Structure formats: C-alpha cells, structure tokens
C-alpha cells in the first residue's frame, strides 16, 4: 500500500513494471484526504485489506475515522504485539503520541509520550519504525530519535540533513536505512527491527 499525497488517495501498487496503481480509497465522507503519507496494517485486518480486487471501486465506505485532534499526523507504527499504535505530529507541535488498540480496532488512552516542540534543530517528527524490543526509531529534529516504548529518549542518530523516513533491511533486519532531504543513509544496529508481517 502506498500513500499518494499528490493524488489525495491510498493506492496499492500491483504492476511494478508499468507502475499501475489500484486505488483502494480516495474519499472519506465525500472529502478527499489532505496528504496521506504512511500506512500500517494490523495483522487481524490484513486479510480483508488484501481482498480488494483490481478494478473494484475504491472502498471508501470501509473507512473509520480514529484520530481528529492532531494538526499534522505523519509517522505511524504498531508496537510488536500490536497493543499500541504510535503516531507522530509534525507541526506546529512536534509530538509522539501512543494509543491503546482495542479489539474492535478503535483507539483509546491517548498519551503524548514526548514533546520536542522546543527543539530548534532542523527536522520534525516524520516516518518511524519499531524494533523487536518495542523501541521507536523516528525522524525528528536533528536526526533519528530512538525512544523506549514509554517515550523515554534513549539516543539520537545525528544527521547532516533533515530526515524524512526510516526502514529496516538485511537478513537480520539490523540495518536501518534513512531517507533525508537529498540522500539515503544506512547504519547497522545491534537490535533487529520488528517483522513487517507478524504471526500469532
């Protein structure tokens, strides 16, 4: 799945060679999305997401609005056990927020786990990933911020450019790739990233 910010829609890339995109959803309650960026799947709902067939109308009616009080939500990630959802906010406040995921998929117990609004360094909360221990790796002011699951700052990977996103790679998932303003970087870490597809 891809967020298509320039087309105000969510799409699924099916034919890589021809760059064909199946539009999964374009509207919510008759309105276009602002600028969708990042997407995550909960393992309980992944099978339903994969049922959308090429050529079928966008599944706008299947959407549920979960969070309305963030001014610019951006990065999003589940904890390894998928009991919590993390969402960050880019501006004007630079926040990382944690929600408890209920069995029906709704979100409760919103908690700001870190506020970096006062940090003057270039960059803002953006794309994020989780390692297998539940630690958070997120774009932020000055580089890649690393938090504990509770939001305690553990370290920062200082970068010479504004960071936009991160991704795990390698057979051991211990290499973190970092996209920045005009470059892509990588760093090998000691803790493996959480698996993208999780099995019970």
36, 67 contact by CB (below 8 A): no
Tokens of 91: 């501006």
The tokens for 197 are 């597809």
The per-residue pLDDT for range 114-163, each reduced to its tens digit, is 999 999 999 999 999 999 999 999 999 999 999 999 999 999 999 999 99
Which element (helix H / strand E) includes 49? helix 46-49
Could you tell me how far CA 149 lies from the centroid of its own chain? 15
What share of the chain has pLDDT > 70, as a percent? 66
Neighbouring-strand partners of residue 22: 12
Cα 18 versus chain centre, distance: 26
Torsion angle, alpha carbons of 170, 198, 33, 16, to 10:
50
**Contacts with 161 (C-beta within 8 Å, 6 or more apart), sequence order:** 180, 181, 182, 183
3-state SS class at 156: strand
34-48 burial: b if 16+ Cβ within 10 Å, else e: eebbbebbeeeeeee
What span, in angstroms and rounded, lies between the C-alpha atoms of 185 and 187?
A: 7
Query: What pLDDT is recorded for position 20?
Result: 44
- Cα–Cα distances (Å) from 197 to 80, 99, 156, in that order, read 10, 21, 27
Summarised one tens digit per residue, pLDDT across range 76-95 is: 999 999 999 999 999 999 99
Mean confidence (pLDDT) of the chain? 80
pTM above 0.75, yes or no: yes
Among 143, 136, 30, 15, residue whose Cα is nearest residue 85? 136
Structure confidence by residue, pLDDT tens digits, 46-81: 555 556 565 565 555 566 778 888 888 889 999 999
175-185 pLDDT, tens digit per residue, is 999 999 999 99
């Amino acid at each position: 799945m891809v967020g298509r910010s320039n087309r105000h829609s969510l799409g699924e890339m099916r034919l890589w060679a021809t760059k064909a995109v199946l539009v999964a959803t374009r509207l919510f309650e008759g309105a276009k999305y602002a600028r969708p960026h990042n997407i995550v799947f909960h393992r309980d709902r992944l099978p339903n997401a994969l049922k959308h067939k090429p050529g079928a109308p966008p599944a706008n009616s299947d959407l549920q609005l979960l969070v309305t009080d963030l001014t610019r939500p951006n990065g999003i990630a589940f904890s390894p056990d998928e009991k919590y959802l993390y969402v960050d906010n880019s501006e004007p406040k630079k926040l990382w927020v944690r929600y408890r995921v209920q069995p029906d998929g709704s979100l409760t117990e919103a908690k700001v786990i870190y506020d970096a609004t006062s940090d003057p360094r270039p960059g803002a909360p953006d794309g994020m990933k989780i390692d297998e221990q539940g630690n958070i790796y997120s774009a932020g002011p000055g580089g890649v911020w690393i938090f504990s699951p509770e939001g305690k700052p553990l370290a920062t990977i200082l970068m010479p450019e504004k960071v936009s996103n991160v991704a795990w790679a390698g057979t051991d998932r211990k290499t973190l790739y970092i996209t920045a303003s005009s470059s892509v970087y990588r760093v090998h870490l000691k803790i493996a990233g959480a698996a993208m597809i999780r099995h019970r």
